[in-house]
């Protein structure tokens, strides 16, 4: 059996943070399961989808904030560092924290897939597992390749136990502790 990156990481979390501080603005770096990941800068449709989710969250749960690109220290036992497209938490949760915050208090993370070769491994698998291991209650994945919204919830034993997917156009209820409803018809406007 081949050892995983978690058993033999490419570098320490501290080394990653030093590299990430000097990365060019054209990429976003993450440290997932002991491996350095490079995310391309999002395109306009990606940004519009994130803002669409942000507006829904603000309208339905004004006591919460959707923090774009908030760094989280996930997978503590693997020294992971992720920068989700959005992190939903009560207003003020990250006051006084550094670049890589503890995920305690986070209610949901949002990822919108990018059109690159690593999206399947990164967004659909490794990040899902990392967010579940960190105990984040909901992982909302908006998948532009499949035109579907997947709501991962009920984390336990390192995985999400619920992961229903809905096609664009469906009404999607995000479970507690988030408790919002998304009418996803307008996501069709961001499909190319």
Is residue 38 predicted with pLDDT exceeding 90? no
CA torsion 117-118-123-128 (nearest 10°) is 140
- Between CA 113 and CA 121 the distance in angstroms is 11
pLDDT at 77: 44
Answer yes or no: are the C-beta atoms of 135 and 155 closer than 8 Å. yes
Q: Tell me which of 7-16, 96-105, 167-176 is least confident.
A: 7-16
Q: What is the pTM of this model?
A: 0.79
What homologous superfamily is domain 43-190 in, according to CATH? tt1808, chain A (3.90.1570.10)
Over residues 151-165, the pLDDT tens digits come to 999 999 989 999 999
- Between CA 121 and CA 106 the distance in angstroms is 23
- Per-residue confidence at 138, pLDDT binned at 50, 70, 90? very high
Answer yes or no: are the C-beta atoms of 143 and 127 closer than 8 Å. no
Over residues 98-107, the pLDDT tens digits come to 888 999 999 9
Every domain of the chain and the residues it spans: 43-190
Which one, of 93, 102, 112, 99, lies nearest residue 74 by Cα? Answer: 102
């Amino acid at each position: 059996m081949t050892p995983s990156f978690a058993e033999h990481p490419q570098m320490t979390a501290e080394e990653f943070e030093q590299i990430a501080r000097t990365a060019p603005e054209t990429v976003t770096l993450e440290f997932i399961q002991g491996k350095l990941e490079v995310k391309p800068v999002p395109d306009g449709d990606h940004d519009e989808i994130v803002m669409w989710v942000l507006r829904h969250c603000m309208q339905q749960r004004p006591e919460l904030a959707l923090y774009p690109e908030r760094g989280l220290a996930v997978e503590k036992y693997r020294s992971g560092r992720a920068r989700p497209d959005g992190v939903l938490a009560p207003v003020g949760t990250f006051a006084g924290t550094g670049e890589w915050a503890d995920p305690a208090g986070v209610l949901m993370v949002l990822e919108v897939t990018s059109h690159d070769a690593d999206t399947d491994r990164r967004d659909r698998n490794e990040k899902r597992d990392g967010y579940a291991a960190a105990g984040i209650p909901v992982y909302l994945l908006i998948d532009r390749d499949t035109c579907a919204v997947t709501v991962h919830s009920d984390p336990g034993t390192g995985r999400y136990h619920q992961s229903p997917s809905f096609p664009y156009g469906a009404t999607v209820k995000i479970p507690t502790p988030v408790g919002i409803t998304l009418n996803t018809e307008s996501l069709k406007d961001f499909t190319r």
